[in-house]
Amino acid sequence: MSAEILALTLRAEAGSRPVRAIEALAALVVNRAQLAAEAPAPRIRFTPGAHTGAGWTALLAEACRAPFLFRCWQAGRLRAEAPADAAMEMCRRIAARALGGALPDPTEGATHWHDGASLPGWAIGQVPTAEIGGLVFYRLPG
């Protein structure tokens, strides 16, 4: 279930991007889930409502669906069924690698991101850890 939620998130948020950008976004979700598994403050921030003591793989779906973290999970935006296309299959393979712990992190531990075509207010003055495939990544403090 976690792999499919992650794959849907990747497809909706970055499915038209280069593979490296999709992998980087998957690494960001893993970073959020790992931080949430380690401490209460990130758990509240990245996986609100998740059970204490859950391992990071169990928190991947929660890290995708947490309020305000991914635009695609806002009410009514993401369809329940996955599109049957090559991009979705690629996202499923990337999600499986992420869940298996076999996905490198080119974002240097990023916890936040945005499309390079915009600059959200929270990113002003922040130093990116990586820019990959039109996506900009940041590791923001606790």
Contact 115, 90 (CB under 8 A): no
Contact 92, 34 (CB under 8 A): no
Stretch among 20-24, 59-63, 113-117, 127-131 having the lowest mean pLDDT: 59-63
Q: Is the pTM of this model over 0.85?
A: yes
55: CB partners within 8 A, 6+ apart: 37
Quick: pLDDT tens for 81-92.
667 789 999 999
**Structure tokens given for 48:** 């609100």
8-state DSSP, 73: G
Cα 37 from Cα 92, distance rounded (Å): 23
Quick: pLDDT tens for 64-76.
988 888 888 887 6
In terms of Cα–Cα distance, which of 113, 15, 4 is closest to 65? 4
Cα 26 from Cα 98, distance rounded (Å): 7
Spell out the domain ranges in the chain.
2-107
